[in-house]
Amino acid sequence: MTSPDVRLNAWVHGKVQGVGFRWWTRSRALELGLTGYAANRPDGRVHVVAQGARADCQRLLELLRSDGTPGRVNTVVADWADAGDPIDGFAER
């Protein structure tokens, strides 16, 4: 039996707009088989919503917090929830 899917909401703070961060996040999420989106917020953060297996979402969160991202990540605030309605693909918004 597989574990139920989860939804990760991550708010990424730092210099993460205008540096290819959403494209990079989309690429990592697709490699992990996740669906969702990465969206610029008016306050300079990027909001990442990822849905899929908990282990894959956890790995994406680790990548978001790593030194390998474009730009500069100061902190990532994460919130976990049960998976919501299905999301098609992974979009940049």
Strands 46-52 and 35-40, by their bridges, are antiparallel
Q: Of 9, 26, 28, 40, which residue is the catalytic one? A: 40
Token pair recorded at residue 41: 């917020």
Name the β-bridge partners of 11: 47, 77
Distance (Å, rounded) from C-alpha 87 to C-alpha 5? 12
- From the candidates 7, 9, 22, 65, give the one annotated as an active-site residue: 22
Q: Which two tokens stand for residue 90?
A: 């992974």
Token representation of residue 69: 């991202």
Are the beta carbons of 38 and 51 closer than 8 angstroms? no
Tell me if residue 22 is catalytic.
yes
Active-site residue flag, 40:
yes
Residues serving a catalytic function are: 22, 40
